[in-house]
Amino acid sequence: MAKIQQPNIEEIRMKTDKTRQVLRFLAFLSICVFFLLAVGKFFLHREYFSFLSFIAIFLGSLLVADFLSGVMHWTFDTWGSSKTFLVGPLFIRPFREHHVDEKSITHHSFIQASTSGTATVIPICIAVLLIPLTGVISYSILMFVFLISVFVFLTNQIHKWAHMYNPPAIIRFLQKTHILLPQIDHHIHHIEPFTQSYAITTGWTNPFFTKFQFFRHTEKIITRITGAIPRADDIGVEAAKELMEKGN
């Protein structure tokens, strides 16, 4: 009798991951179509639309997306482990593995890179799309959330460009002009023990986080309330305690 071939678990896992990524990508694209149809009406209403308010919403959403990228990145770098329920395998593991092999992200496809944030963005988008559009405030909220979602969607791709030796010329220009996360800014994050420059969309909020020691203060509050040691799972309890005492 011919030898029964065992299924390759790793291959099956990769295929399932790829299918999930494509489905998430298509779901986000469909949501974009709904948003564009709704937002399109906003531009047709002369009484609602002003160019200055659009620029304010655009810049505000970039700023918020960058802030969120910093908070999410810090959360997954600092707390829990790859075994944490739901978020462990989905978010914590990729962030921790990225510190060990920072260049592997450059081999990810656009779909693989950009769909990592969609699990959180899609339910929020659906909720916002259900808001009845009655005037300038509801249209502005819709546009604001839509733009934040697009920038969150693009964040990991922007992060990938920050690691590439030779990103496209237009991306290099956007990095140099600080419109997208500059490579040098993100390089600071990859210096051990990975406790600075968490924001990875534009990097605009990194000086704010550093100046006010935002994450160190937040870590102290969380430790006081829960007793959890920041980075205990990532670098070991003793090293994490030492780092915490140094206030790094």
Binding site for Zn ion (CB under 5 A): 77, 194
CB of 204 to Zn ion, least distance (A): 17
- Closest-CB residue for Zn ion? 77
CB of 194 to Zn ion, least distance (A): 5
**What is the dihedral angle through the alpha carbons of 168, 170, 176, 179, rounded to the nearest 10 degrees?**
-120
Q: Among residues 78 and 149, whose Cβ is nearest to Zn ion?
A: 78
The smaller minimum CB distance to Zn ion, of residues 77 and 219, is found at 77
d(CA 159, CA 148) in angstroms, rounded, equals: 16
Cβ 27 to Zn ion shortest distance, Å: 26
Nearer to Zn ion, 131 or 172 (CB): 172
Give the nearest distance from C-beta 115 to Zn ion in angstroms: 17
CA pair distance 179, 66, nearest whole angstrom: 11
3-state helix, strand, coil in the chain (%, to 5): 70, 0, 30
**d(Cα 34, Cα 40) in Å, to the nearest integer?**
10
Torsion of CA 99, 18, 200, 240, to 10 degrees: -30
State the Cα–Cα distance between residues 211 and 176, nearest whole angstrom: 22
Cα–Cα distance between 36 and 196 in angstroms, integer? 36
Task: Say how far residue 78 (Cα) sits from the centre of its chain.
Answer: 15
In the complex with Zn ion, the residue whose CB is nearer, 47 or 101, is 101
Instruction: Please identify, using beta-carbon distances, which residue of 24 and 108 lies nearer to Zn ion.
Output: 108
Please report where in the chains the tokens 């496209």 appear, as a residue. 168
CB of 190 to Zn ion, least distance (A): 6
What are the tokens at 29? Answer: 């694209």
Nearest distance, CB of residue 200 and Zn ion, angstroms: 7
> Which lies closer to Zn ion via its Cβ, residue 144 or residue 214?
214
